[in-house]
Structure 1
Amino acid sequence: MNKTLLGLILLSSTAFAQAPQFSTDRLNQDIKTLSSDAFEGRGPATPGEEKSIAYIAQGMEAAGLQPAGDIENGKRSWYQKVPLLRTSIRDAQPKLVLTVDGKSAPLVQGQQIAVRAPLTGQKHVTINNAPLVFVGYGVTAPERKWDDFKGLDVKGKILVVLINDPDFETGQGDFGGKAMTYYGRWTYKYEEAARRGAAGVLIVHETAPASYGWNTVKNSNTNTMFDIVRKDPNASHTPMEAWIQRDEAEAIFKASGLDFDAEKKRAQTRAFKPVPLKATFSADYDVNAEVITSHNVAGILPGKTHPDEIVAYTAHWDHLGVGQPDARGDRIYNGAVDNATGIAQLLELGRAFAHGPKPDRSVLFLAVTAEEKGLLGSEYYAANPLYPLGKTVGVLNMDGGSIAGPTRNFSISGSAKLGLLDDLTRLAAERGRVYSPDPHPEAGHFYRSDHFSMAKRGVPAISFDGGNDLVNGGTERGEELSKAYVKDRYHQPADEWSADWDLSGMTNDLALLYTLGTNLANGREWPNWSPDSEFRRERDKTAALRK
Structure 2
Amino acid sequence: MKQLMIVLAFIAGSLFSFSQKIDAVINSQEALRIENILAADAMQGRKTGTPGNERAALFIADEFKRAGLEPLEGTSGFLQKFVLVETKVRSSNIVLGGKKLEADRFIAITPKRMLQVDEKTGYTIEYIKGGENFFDKAMAYLQAGKNQVVFVDNSFAKMFKRLNYFKKQLFANAPDVLFVLADEAPAAYLLEVVQEIDEQQAQNVVGILPGKSKKDEYVIFSGHYDHLGIADKPEKGDSIYNGANDDAAGTTAVIMLAKYFKELKTNERTIVFAAFTAEEIGGFGSQYFSRQFNPAKVMAMFNIEMIGTESKWGKNSAYITGYEKTDMGKILEKNLKGSGFTFHPDPYTDQQLFYRSDNATLARLGVPAHTISTSKMDSEANYHQLSDEVSTLDIKNMTEIIKAIAISSTSIIKGADTPSRVNTAELK
Structure 1 length normalisation: TM-score?
Answer: 0.57
State the distance in 2 between where 1:521 and 1:188 align: 30
Matched letter for residue 30 of structure 1: I
CA 1:88 to 1:491, structure 2 compared with 1: closer, same or farther past 3 Å?
farther
Structure 1: stretches of 5+ with no match in the other structure: 1-9, 90-116, 125-139, 148-181, 211-220, 239-272, 274-285, 468-478, 539-547
Aligned counterpart in structure 2 of residue 392 of structure 1, from 298, 310, 316: 298
Please, which moves more after superposition, 29-38 or 50-59?
A: 29-38
CA 1:361 to 1:228, structure 2 compared with 1: closer, same or farther past 3 Å?
same
Residue aligning to 1:97: none
State the distance in 2 between where 1:46 and 1:423 align: 40
- 1:26-62 Cα offsets, whole Å, 9 max, x none, are 2122122212221111112211221011000001111
State the distance in 1 between where 2:88 and 2:243 align: 21
Instruction: Identify, as 1 or 2, the structure richer in helix.
Output: 2
Residue aligning to 1:81: 81
- 1:307-326 Cα offsets, whole Å, 9 max, x none, are 22221101111112234325
CA 1:431 to 1:322, structure 2 compared with 1: closer, same or farther past 3 Å?
same
State the distance in 2 between where 1:63 and 1:379 align: 25
Say which SS state the counterpart of residue 371 (structure 1) adopts: coil
State the distance in 2 between where 1:410 and 1:183 align: 30
State the distance in 2 between where 1:491 and 1:25 align: 26
Say which SS state the counterpart of residue 383 (structure 2) adopts: coil
- 1:387-407 Cα offsets, whole Å, 9 max, x none, are x33222211110111334962
Is structure 2 residue 309 aligned with structure 1 residue 403? yes
Aligned counterpart in structure 2 of residue 146 of structure 1, from 125, 131, 135: 131
Is structure 2 residue 249 aligned with structure 1 residue 362? no
Residue aligning to 1:195: 150
State the distance in 2 between where 1:443 and 1:82 align: 29
Q: Is the 1:225–1:373 contact (alpha carbons within 8 Å) kept by the matching residues of 2?
A: no
Residue aligning to 1:254: none
Say which SS state the counterpart of residue 373 (structure 1) adopts: coil
Residue aligning to 2:336: 428
- Within a 5 Å distance, the mapping from 1:91-106 to structure 2 comes to none
Residue aligning to 1:20: 22
Residue aligning to 1:522: 414
Residue aligning to 1:63: 67
State the distance in 2 between where 1:64 and 1:118 align: 44
State the distance in 1 between where 2:309 and 2:319 align: 15
Identity %: 26
Say which SS state the counterpart of residue 372 (structure 1) adopts: coil
State the distance in 2 between where 1:494 and 1:87 align: 31
CA 1:453 to 1:119, structure 2 compared with 1: closer, same or farther past 3 Å?
same
Structure 2: stretches of 5+ with no match in the other structure: 1-10, 90-106, 115-126, 143-148, 184-193
Q: How many correspondences in the alignment?
A: 365
Is structure 2 residue 370 aligned with structure 1 residue 462? yes
Q: C-alpha displacement at 1:493, in angstroms?
A: 2.4
- Greater length-normalized contact order (CA 8 Å, ≥ 6 residues apart): 1
State the distance in 2 between where 1:441 and 1:343 align: 24
Structure 2 length normalisation: TM-score?
Answer: 0.72
Please tell me the root mean square deviation across aligned C-alpha atoms, in Å: 4.3
Q: C-alpha displacement at 1:80, in angstroms?
A: 1.5
Residue aligning to 1:513: 405
Is structure 2 residue 54 aligned with structure 1 residue 50? yes
CA 1:417 to 1:377, structure 2 compared with 1: closer, same or farther past 3 Å?
same
Matched letter for residue 34 of structure 1: L
Q: Is the 1:398–1:464 contact (alpha carbons within 8 Å) kept by the matching residues of 2?
A: yes
Is structure 2 residue 280 aligned with structure 1 residue 372? yes
Q: C-alpha displacement at 1:509, in angstroms?
A: 1.5
